[in-house]
Amino acid sequence: MLSLTQSLLALASGSLVGFSLGLVGGGGSILAVPLLVYVVGVTNPHVAIGTSAIAVSVNAAASLLSHARAGHVKWRCALVFAASGIVGAFGGSTLGKMVDGQKLLTLFAVLMLIVAGLMLRKRRGEGNPQVRLGRENVLKLVGIGMATGALSGFFGIGGGFLIVPGLIMATGMPILNAVGSSLVAVSAFGLTTTSNYALSGLIDWPLALVFIGGGILGGLVGARAAHGLASKEGALNSVFATMIIVVAIYMLVMSVGFL
């Protein structure tokens, strides 16, 4: 049973993740696990990962609808990528459950530093908008999809920061199409990880519902703010990447027992 304090903290944490995703378009979901552990007070890192996975999946599915309506999704490429990634996500999440929770948080912090570095890189808009699924890219989609799915499942994250460049590498599609298409995989990977963790009873469902509710509200606010701050996207990414670095360093310090 969630206390009132936990419910409010979960709502606020979910709102922050949703706001970040709506504002800068990626990377926000990686804050879900540290927020659940260090702010909401989830004592079991595996429960935090399982609970965040369902939130990631739902938020990605909601964002996918708007991208699909805008025609940004390359469905055939996205579905092949997602299908192969589901296999990787199941294997990665199975392995993640076997790793000691504290070690998993340490590895998670290292991953956050990598994500921050990728966010600081400028995204390029070039690419072939007419790209289609074919012999020249299907094997790349399968291979890269399986690898990113494994990482997504292991850490219980959306993995968009890996999926987007992976889709571009495999097909040469423009960044806008890669962002829209990536949400198919993020939704699928999150659902796969959720199912695997649910089988082991490692999801706090009431907490997940509150977190998701906060994420939806935050996402709406973040999306509106993004329109007004579109010209400052580079600066926003830098600020958000810096925040991720600070959280990652805090997690590393906590992991080695300095505090």
Average pLDDT, consecutive stretches of 10 residues, N- to C-terminus, the chain (259 residues): 90 86 66 90 92 86 83 94 95 92 86 80 71 92 94 82 86 86 90 94 95 87 67 66 84 70
- CA distances in angstroms from 122 to 104, 128, 221, 248, listed in the order given: 29, 19, 24, 22
Residue 15's alpha-carbon distances to 22, 49, 97, 148, 158, in angstroms, are 10, 17, 27, 26, 17
Torsion of CA 65, 71, 76, 80, to 10 degrees: -50
Tokens in use for 240?
């958000």
Structural domain boundaries enclosing 207: 4-255
Domain tally, the chain: 1
pLDDT at 41: 92
Q: What is the dihedral of CA 204, 43, 86, 14, to 10 degrees?
A: 60
Return the pLDDT at 185: 92
pLDDT of residue 234: 64
Tell me the whole-structure pTM to 2 decimals. 0.81
